[in-house]
Amino acid sequence: MQLPPQDINRVIEMAWEDRTSFDTIKLQFGLTEKEVINLMRREMKPSSFRMWRKRVQGRTTKHNKLRGWVEGRHKCTRQRTITNNKISKR
């Protein structure tokens, strides 16, 4: 899947965020966890990719099924205006 540069930047930003799950990235951009990992590997320097993989490996917040809560999430009040998030406010 070819993404425009601004979407690639947003996926990378979301992948680095601790509380943004891979399921959210899939919902917005249609990329599976494996595709996100491949995108990160392709777009980042090798050392940055290794640091990111070490950071997200086994992190429960990156997988909705592993989270300890069902509803609610932390979200900065300025998130949509800063990052042009595609999901509208609910």
Provide mean pLDDT across the span 8-22.
Answer: 89
Give yes or no for residue 30 having a pLDDT over 70.
Answer: yes
The answer to whether residues 24 and 14 touch, using CB atoms and an 8 Å cutoff, is yes
| Proportion of the chain above pLDDT 70, given as a percent | 64
Identify which has the larger pLDDT, 42 or 87. Answer: 42
- Residue 23: closest CA among 56, 76, 61, 53: 61
Percent of the chain at pLDDT exceeding 90:
39
**How much is the pLDDT for 56?**
86
